Amino acid sequence: MYRQQQQPPASPPAHVAQPGTVERVGRIVAVTGALAIILIDFEDDQRSGRQSRSPEIGTLLKVDSPKSISLALVSALSSPMPSHNAGDKELRIIEVEFIGELPKDANGTPKAFRRGISCYPSLGDIVYRANKQELEKAYACDAETSIRVGHIQQDSSIPAMIKIDEMLG
């Protein structure tokens, strides 16, 4: 669990992806097919001055590799050994499902989102929150065949769209 902030942060909340930011979440400790378990990095918010918090269900995370950026959605959160004292370290894990990837061109620049994973991440790989550009690619939708129903939870500047044909089919 995370501690609630006593004062509102001066900058936008860390759980909202900001352009160019790289926010480390943890590292992969288990992979089973399209599912993985991530051990969340322990940060003492008071000592580090960070305004971050644990990812929520539905948060899009990434694992960067030389050929692609693998994207995964948070599907479960747990603390297998909860602490009874607020100041104690607590083991926290995230379960994710890999949904697709952003293949990279010859220069290492991510291309358009593609469902499925061609090369799964390995044990020990570092996991980060997806940034604004990666979120835009993952949630890109053709405006002519879709309707806007709101915005995504991770970044309110990116619209949430529904494909009309798939919804009615």
Average pLDDT over every residue of 42-58:
62
Average pLDDT over every residue of 78-104:
87
Distance CA(99)–CA(115), nearest Å, equals: 6
Q: Is pLDDT above 60 for 40?
A: yes
DSSP 93-152: EEEEEEEEEEEB-TTS-B-S-EES-SS---TT-EEEE--HHHHHHHT---TTSEEEEEE-
pLDDT for residue 20: 52
Residue with the bigger pLDDT between 23 and 22: it is 23
pLDDT for residue 16: 43
Q: Is the dihedral of CA 113, 116, 119, 124 positive or negative?
A: positive
Domain limits, the chain: 24-138, 141-169
pLDDT for residue 61: 96
Average pLDDT over every residue of 52-56:
75
Q: Which of 11-25, 31-45, 84-98, 121-135 has the lowest mean pLDDT?
A: 11-25
Half-sphere exposure of 101 (CA within 13 A, CB side): 19
Average pLDDT over every residue of 42-64:
70
Q: What type of residue is 157? A: S
Residue 102 neighbours by CB distance under 10 Å:
21
DSSP letter at 153 equals S
Average pLDDT over every residue of 109-124:
92
State pTM to two decimals: 0.75
| H, E, C per residue of 36-104 | EEEEECCCCHHHHCCCCCCCCCCCEEEEECCCEEEEEEEEEEEEEECCCCCCCCCEEEEEEEEEEEEEE
pLDDT for residue 130: 93
Distance CA(79)–CA(98), nearest Å, equals: 21
Say if strands 114-115 and 91-103 run parallel, antiparallel, or are unpaired. Answer: antiparallel
What is the residue-averaged pLDDT of the chain?
79
Q: At a CB cut-off of 8 Å and minimum separation 6, what does 41 contact?
A: 24, 25, 26, 27
